[in-house]
Amino acid sequence: MAATRTPWLHVIAGCMSSGKTAEVVRLLSRREIAGQSVLLITPARDTRVAPGEVVSRTGTRFPSVVAKDAPSLRDEVLARDPDAVAIEEAQFFGSDLPAIIEELVAGPRTVIVSGLDQDFAGRPFATIPELLARADEVTKLTAICVKCGGEATRTQRMRNGQPASVSDELIVIGGMGGDDTYEARCRACHVVLP
């Protein structure tokens, strides 16, 4: 007997290297074991891995579908009609995302969203703060600060070995700019140049 679908929004937020992807894969895998249909969607803008799967920093892999924006994400979900859908790197799907997620949750279905809650300068990032406010469940993950070993809640962008300036470009995917890298940092070790 199939389980009754319940509308539910679970938001997983945190800094880089905090285990967001591994947590999404864990939650979807549990649902698959229980016989539920699942769908994982990643943004076309994230080109760090080959399309068709996500790979966590721990090496966990899970099949995925790529969507270019929030409306195409909705189309993918409605075409497949899964019991649960997870959206990776939600900060890249644009301002339409919160309304579309509300529509998908009302399906009814479980929607799991993961993303960075702060940008490299420590500011609330994209639509993640709004999604956190709308969530039925929130998981806030931390990493280990690469400088002091404390609990990291910030994403440090380094440019040519130095902390980035607050006026630098907001999004550089995966440090793909060549000289940009990202590190998990605690509040005390996080530095943003003026």
Residues facing 165 on adjacent strands: 193
Residues facing 156 on adjacent strands: 183
Query: What is the spatial distance between Cα 151 and Cα 133, in angstroms, rounded to a whole number?
Result: 23
* Cβ neighbours of 178 (radius 10 Å): 9
Is the peptide bond preceding residue 63 cis, with omega within 30 degrees of 0? no
Query: What is the spatial distance between Cα 152 and Cα 143, in angstroms, rounded to a whole number?
Result: 5
Per the residue annotation, which of 88, 89, 130, 151 is the catalytic one?
A: 89
Tell me if residue 169 falls in helix, strand or coil: coil
Is 89 one of the annotated active-site residues of the chain?
yes
Query: What is the spatial distance between Cα 141 and Cα 15, in angstroms, rounded to a whole number?
Result: 7
What the block records as the tokens of 182 is 């990202």
**Judging by beta carbons within 10 Å of its beta carbon (0-12, 13-18, 19+), is residue 71 exposed, middle or buried?**
middle
* Cβ neighbours of 9 (radius 10 Å): 21
Which active-site residues does the annotation give?
A: 89
